[in-house]
């Protein structure tokens, strides 16, 4: 038994799936001052709408809403239907504090208070 779906129905299903992914995802990609919606993300990369995103390559930033999550070095991997898949060459988590080059003790003082009497 074979399942046949007319091209028009399949195109409608693909559009509905893409619209659902766009609506559900909060992830954003920022490249050269322009932001794009990320449809899905996995360990090795992410996918975006192929119609709205140009061929990207290089350093980009990933955001969850307004929170800066990662700074990534990417390369285009494959075009799969309406989605363009990108692979990470480097994925670096963004921190709100500078990195330390020493071990900070748990009971270390936060600041020094001088006695100025």
User: pLDDT, tens digit, for every residue of 34-90?
Assistant: 988 888 888 889 888 888 888 888 899 999 888 888 899 998 878 877 788 899 999
pLDDT of res. 103: 83
Is residue 2's pLDDT more than 70? no
pLDDT of res. 73: 92
DSSP state letter for 38:
E
Question: Quick one: how far is CA 39 from the chain centroid?
Answer: 9
**How many other CB atoms sit within 10 Å of the CB of residue 88?**
20
Average pLDDT, the chain: 81
- Output 47 or 109, whichever has higher pLDDT: 47
Domains along the chain? 26-93 (2.40.10.430)
The answer to whether 63 and 86 have CB atoms below 8 angstroms apart is no
- Tokens representing 15? 């559009």
- Tokens representing 31? 């490249």
Determine the Cα–Cα distance for residues 87 and 32; give it in Å rounded to an integer: 18
């Amino acid at each position: 038994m074979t399942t046949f779906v007319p091209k028009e129905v399949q195109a409608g299903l693909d559009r509905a799936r893409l619209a659902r992914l766009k609506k559900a995802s909060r992830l954003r990609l920022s490249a050269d001052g322009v932001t794009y919606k990320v449809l899905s993300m996995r360990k090795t990369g992410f996918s975006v709408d192929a119609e709205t995103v140009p061929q990207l390559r290089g350093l980009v930033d990933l955001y969850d809403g307004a929170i800066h999550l990662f700074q990534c070095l990417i390369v285009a991997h494959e075009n799969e239907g309406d989605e363009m898949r990108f692979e990470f060459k480097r994925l670096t988590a963004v921190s709100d504090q500078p990195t330390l080059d020493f071990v900070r003790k748990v009971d270390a003082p936060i600041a020094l208070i001088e006695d100025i009497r």
